Structure 1
């Protein structure tokens, strides 16, 4: 059972990486088209800026939510690394629970805002803003799960590398 779950999670993680790679390709392609249209053909187009911006936004939040591993996150750990392991666990539990609390408390308002934005559309592509902003909901839920797992591991003294929550 555990092996099957790991295989499924591994497969899902690779698909999330594929989506992130596609977003990077879309951003780069739009950037190249924008340069060619503006400087080679003297016919600037606005949709390329919109595609680049949206691909960047989705790439950052999608990647942070579903692709970035815990050990790949950037941290300022001068204090964290210099204290004993027991105090590190306290730090991890407190910060994990704080992140879970902040994202958990803000989640209903985020859902309301994203749902409300269905009335707005992007300028050039005409995409509904609720669809564009929905990636933040994925990000927020992933942060709740990931930091809940960090706090759980700290409280139960379980090494974080034994399983992945997000």
Structure 2
């Protein structure tokens, strides 16, 4: 791959990590604030739970879409580690095809539902629910692109990700 493209990809990954860190910081800060208001001041905040749940949802889906590396994905290592490199590529193509098809088939309905949710607002923050749940659309599209890329690499004959935890690095 072209060095400039690699540098851009690394920069984008770091920005995605920055977003995930900011989401975690907001979630943690809100959690601490809620504890102080509930147990010290005896005046619970209604909006804090809503914000924590939303930031948790965004953190999980954003992280899965943009910050988790392929080698860090969960897989059946007992089987995957024992098969040949060629069979690993076959498994990558089969699972990639299945996931791309599932996400692609579900995407129009998910988009329709998220778009429809603009008529509803959250109870405390009064944020349109389509904004809160739009991260699923981002996640689904990112997963489709990711698995198309992995299938392309498997077809080209690139090595499969390492599954031995001792060999995983930064």
Does the TM-score normalized on the shorter chain lie above 0.5?
yes
1:90: how far off? 1.2
Structure 1 segments of 4+ aligned residues over 3 angstroms from their partners: none
Distance of 1:158 and 1:14 partners within structure 2 = 24
Q: What's the counterpart of residue 87 of structure 1?
A: 87
Q: What's the counterpart of residue 134 of structure 2?
A: 134
Q: What's the counterpart of residue 34 of structure 1?
A: 34
Distance of 1:17 and 1:60 partners within structure 2 = 12
1:72: how far off? 1.5
Paired residues, number: 161
Q: What's the counterpart of residue 22 of structure 1?
A: 22
1:99 aligned to 2:96?
no
Q: What's the counterpart of residue 71 of structure 2?
A: 71
The TM-score normalised by the length of structure 1 is 0.91
Distance of 2:156 and 2:4 partners within structure 1 = 25
The TM-score normalised by the length of structure 2 is 0.89
Alpha-carbon displacement from aligned partner over 1:67-95 (angstroms, at most 9, x marks no partner): 11111112222112112222222111100
Q: What's the counterpart of residue 58 of structure 1?
A: 58
Cα RMSD, aligned residues only: 1.5
3-state SS, counterpart of residue 81 of structure 2: helix
Distance of 1:110 and 1:127 partners within structure 2 = 19
| Structure 1, unpaired ranges of 5+ | 162-166
Alpha-carbon displacement from aligned partner over 1:108-162 (angstroms, at most 9, x marks no partner): 111111111100111110111111111111100111111112222222212367x
